[in-house]
Amino acid sequence: MLSKTDINSAVKNLKNLSYLPELQEATVIESDKKGFLFCLSGGFNLVYKYLTVQKQTKALRINFTGNFDAVFLRIAKIADYLKHKHLPYFVDFTYYEKALFIKGQDWSAITMEWREGLLLKDYLKAHLQQPQKIAALAEAFKTMIETLHKHQIAHGDLQHGNILVHPNGNISLLDYDSVIIPEFVDSQETITGLRTYQHPQRFLKTTNNSHLKIDFFSELVIYASLVVLSKKPELFNSMALDKTEGLLFTEADFKDIGKAAVTKDIVAIAGCEPYMIILAYYLSLENLHDLVYFGDVLNWLEAAKGREHFYGFYGNYYHEKMQAAPEQAPIFKTEAEKLNCWQKQKLLREGKNKLLSEPIENKPEARKSLETFKVNGYSFDMIYVEGGSFMMGATAEQGNDARDNEKPVHEVRLDSFYLGKFVVTQGLWEAVMGSNPSNFNSGDNYPVENVSWDDCQVFIKKLNSLTGKDFRLPTEAEWEYAARGGPFPSSGGVSAGRGGKYSGSNDLDEVAWYDDNSDNETHAVGLKKPNALGLYDMSGNVWEWCNDWYGGYSSSSSQTNPKGPSTGSDRVLRGGSWIYYGFSCRLSSRYYFYPNSRYIHSGFRLAFSSSK
């Protein structure tokens, strides 16, 4: 490892010690007349400012541990990915494996465009008398992170030393070795960030694989800190933030957020208590794949009228941590409602991490997770889907593939129901109808297709008469909820078949047949990986008719058991198919056809209510 003195000496003598012509001819900028170099330091990096012979101001970044050599390929891939995204938050950079000769060995370096600005804490300190600029910075930060989500980028080490604020209030990110792009998902993390910005679970060896939600915790920490400081800027000096390793929070605060001194300061500020509730919930999670973008949770909070529903899920955990006085606790209409909410939180703290929508005391003890039915000798399975709440629509993981008809994101609460383990197969259709309309007449275990929404109603009516049951098509909300794997926030993470961009995975080939892998035909059901509920082919193979008329999402307001518009000209389909592009297989992707339309890419899945 080199010292700062070693690197300073080399930079002062670039003409003789650099392998790069641009650096050999460069003029390194000094910070004062005494000859001290202009240098920024952060993490294990030193950044110097220099002028090229063309009078371009650029930055030279040197890592004094020398660890760049081990990650050359990774950095090159990051540079290429970011270059094609053309985002204003990143600076184009070039990595040189052999840039300098320092103390008898070759040393790598990065050159990039120089951007004027102040590091985050310096900017805050300079604008304590202008809280409106800090508030604007908070919103600029939120806009930036939402843009990164859409482009499937996680920085991996968000902290004050890696955020540069320009004179106009715009933001640039620094230090890109930690960046996570889709190609790096599930790979071993090389950088875990500052502990004052990161979830404690990130530092456990069992949880340190890369994923695109890795910034969600630090995003909340930074955004909440900026909002709080915009409302109470005097905290910056009273907490001596210019001398700490974090913003408002310390590593110790995250170990017991309820007893942290800063918590009392924050909850006393109007409008800031929700950030502490979300932070307390985040800290209750053991699996970082379960993190949900705080902006979606805030939207959900806004949609939950009176906030009772939000407090019902999160409030007791938070207020118990605060050891709040009774008058501070959430208000419940009945003692049973209060007891039920406490039971939910007890389950959460015990690690089951499952939020329930049905009252626990009324939950059937012997509910079967799977029921098998037989009609004319043909068997089929239905999976029990426990009711709950979720955010429906173009949530963050859907990225820039999301379409306008998937917005706005809105909270939906659903009762429990059953859904077919597989789409209706040709074998089941023939057992009920005595014929097979499919274009690909490939066998009993292949999906029936070439059926209209109207045809599905005829089939279901006959199936119900044969079985005495009340089968139906799922509502569009039921379909998306089941495809996502269960209640919001979904437990278990992508690795457990929940969440992800597609049903059960971020890797489309794991779970779906679509245009790139289908060989232009349907495939037998159940060959791909199921999601967390044990449902197969929710992404790909055939589009699935839903019961709803098609229409736009009218608002972000909370809804209970929505059934779509009362009238319309088209019916909804979900899930994508063997002949469509991969983006149509996303969880929130929506499609529609006339109800009498028959296509070789469209089938359906059965549902029935759990009380039936």
What number is the average pLDDT over the span 175-192? 82
Residue 502: pLDDT over 50: yes
What number is the average pLDDT over the span 182-191? 79
> What pLDDT does 442 receive?
85
The per-residue pLDDT for range 81-107, each reduced to its tens digit, is: 888 888 999 987 787 878 888 888 888
> What pLDDT does 499 receive?
62
Residue 307: pLDDT over 50: no
Query: Per-residue confidence at 302, pLDDT binned at 50, 70, 90?
Result: low
What number is the average pLDDT over the span 144-159? 92
Q: Under 8 Å CB-to-CB from 208, ≥6 apart: which residues?
A: 188, 189, 192, 202
> What pLDDT does 340 receive?
43
**Do residues 393 and 538 lie in contact, with contact meaning Cβ atoms separated by under 8 Å?**
no
> What pLDDT does 273 receive?
84
Which of 263-272, 361-370, 381-390, 522-531 shows the lowest per-residue confidence on average (mean pLDDT)?
361-370
What number is the average pLDDT over the span 143-164? 92
Residue 197 backbone phi and psi in degrees, to 5: -125, -5
Measured CA to CA in angstroms, residue 22 lies from 18, 83, 229, 491 at distances of: 9, 21, 43, 52
pTM above 0.85, yes or no: no
% of residues, the chain, pLDDT over 70: 82
Buried b (16+ CB within 10 A) or exposed e, 11-32: beebeebbebebbeebebeeee
Residue 319: pLDDT over 50: no
3 state SS of 184: helix
Distance in angstroms (rounded) separating the CA atoms of residues 549 and 39: 62
Count CB atoms within 10 A of the CB of residue 308. 15
Distance in angstroms (rounded) separating the CA atoms of residues 418 and 469: 12
Query: Per-residue confidence at 68, pLDDT binned at 50, 70, 90?
Result: low
> What pLDDT does 322 receive?
38
% of residues, the chain, pLDDT over 90: 48
> What pLDDT does 241 receive?
93
Residue 489: pLDDT over 70: no
Distance in angstroms (rounded) separating the CA atoms of residues 29 and 174: 20
Residue 368: pLDDT over 90: no
Greater model confidence, 234 or 112: 234
Buried b (16+ CB within 10 A) or exposed e, 423-444: bbbbbbbbbbbeeebbebeeee
Structure tokens belonging to residue 369:
């997770």
Residue 318: pLDDT over 50: no
> What pLDDT does 7 receive?
84
Measured CA to CA in angstroms, residue 600 lies from 342, 430, 503 at distances of: 50, 17, 22
Measured CA to CA in angstroms, residue 405 lies from 379, 392, 393, 514, 550 at distances of: 37, 12, 9, 22, 10
Count CB atoms within 10 A of the CB of residue 605. 27
Mean pLDDT, all residues of the chain: 82
Report which DSSP code applies to 281. Answer: H
What number is the average pLDDT over the span 515-530? 94
Greater model confidence, 244 or 308: 244
Residue 372: pLDDT over 90: yes
> What pLDDT does 141 receive?
96
Query: Per-residue confidence at 349, pLDDT binned at 50, 70, 90?
Result: very low
Measured CA to CA in angstroms, residue 528 lies from 251, 425, 523, 540, 581 at distances of: 42, 16, 10, 10, 17
Structure tokens belonging to residue 482:
């089941």
Query: Per-residue confidence at 220, pLDDT binned at 50, 70, 90?
Result: very high
Greater model confidence, 477 or 287: 477
Query: Per-residue confidence at 35, pLDDT binned at 50, 70, 90?
Result: low
